């Protein structure tokens, strides 16, 4: 992906340019993720790549374009990545697959993910921000469609769809703040736990496998 110009013939002998671009994008992801847009300097990125700062401007017009290539690109890919991993089948299984696929994307493109999610407030360019939000909305609307599908199939209650979607996305979007790749749990496993918690709820006495006939007395005081 992200192949650009330099050689139209596609011969692999001269792959220097695109390798550099890929290297720069890779380092830029990490640095933007850790320092944010304003905190990361082009010098930081150049030093991390082991190249001169001028070479950065040979491959990218300016700091903003480099930033956009990192953030907009990954936001765009996220939707396609997830969509292709949601199978046909029961709607609730689709929701679960949506969550696990998002977690897999997070695991595989972690720094770009973090740079993208952090980007929201810090981006000085309104136009790029709007473009990113549009792509983000497509991803979120896809989840809302799955939830509506599950409601119509009778698999989940008639909940507030946008709110249910936000709950699911919040859990996934916040993961990068506490996830430790050295710990045992993989992001996919984390997403699986979240799905169980959100789908089945915390409340006791209604494990999904057996039917729950005994009605429970009211706990909370009604108004």
Q: Which does 127 bind (CB under 5 to 8 A by kind): DNA, its own copies, none?
A: none
Distance CA 15, CA 57 (A): 19
Binding to DNA by CB under 7 A, coded x per residue (else -) over 55-94, reads x-xx--xxxx------------------------------
Nearer to DNA, 63 or 136 (CB): 63
DSSP per residue, 92-153? HHHHHHHHHHHHHHHHHTHHHHHHHHHHHHH---HHHHHHHHHHHHHHHHHHHHHHHHHHHT
Please select the residue that binds DNA; options are 1, 2, 10, 54, rule is CB under 7 A: 54
Distance CA 214, CA 193 (A): 27
CA angle 42, 25, 180 (to 5 degrees): 100
Tell me how far the alpha carbon of residue 16 is from its chain's centroid. 30
Nearer to DNA, 34 or 144 (CB): 34
Distance CA 220, CA 156 (A): 23
Reduced to 3 states (helix: H, G, I; strand: E, B; else coil), residue 197 is helix
Is residue 6 part of the contact set for DNA (CB under 7 A)?
A: yes
Please select the residue that binds DNA; options are 1, 2, 13, 202, rule is CB under 7 A: 13
Reduced to 3 states (helix: H, G, I; strand: E, B; else coil), residue 55 is helix
Nearer to DNA, 9 or 84 (CB): 9
Is residue 3 part of the contact set for DNA (CB under 7 A)?
A: no
Binding site for its own copies (CB under 8 A): 33-39, 90, 92-93, 114, 118, 120-122, 124, 147-148, 150-151, 154-161, 163-164, 166-167, 169-171, 173-175, 177-178, 190, 193-194, 197-204, 206-210, 212-214, 216-220, 222-223
Residues forming the site for DNA (CB under 7 A): 4, 6, 12-14, 16-17, 20, 40-44, 51-55, 57-58, 61-64
């Amino acid at each position: 992906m992200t192949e650009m110009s330099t050689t139209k013939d596609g011969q692999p002998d001269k792959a220097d340019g695109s390798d550099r671009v890929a290297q720069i994008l890779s380092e830029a992801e990490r640095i933007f993720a850790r320092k944010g847009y304003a905190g990361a300097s082009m010098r930081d990125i150049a030093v991390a790549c082991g190249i001169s700062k001028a070479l950065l401007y040979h491959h990218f017009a300016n700091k903003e374009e480099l930033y956009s290539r990192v953030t907009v690109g990954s936001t765009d890919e996220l939707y396609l990545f997830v969509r292709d991993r949601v199978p046909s089948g029961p709607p609730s299984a689709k929701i679960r697959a949506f969550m696990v696929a998002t977690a897999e994307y997070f695991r595989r493109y972690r720094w770009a993910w973090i740079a993208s999610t952090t980007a929201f407030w810090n981006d000085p360019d309104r136009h790029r921000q709007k473009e990113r939000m549009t792509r983000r909305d497509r991803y979120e609307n896809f989840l809302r469609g799955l939830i509506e599908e599950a409601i119509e199939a009778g698999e989940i209650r008639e909940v507030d769809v946008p709110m249910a979607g936000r709950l699911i996305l919040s859990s996934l979007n916040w993961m990068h703040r506490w996830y430790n790749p050295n710990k045992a749990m993989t992001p996919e496993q984390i997403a699986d736990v979240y799905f169980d918690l959100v789908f089945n709820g915390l409340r006791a006495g209604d494990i999904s496998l057996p039917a729950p006939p005994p009605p429970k007395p009211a706990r909370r005081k009604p108004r």
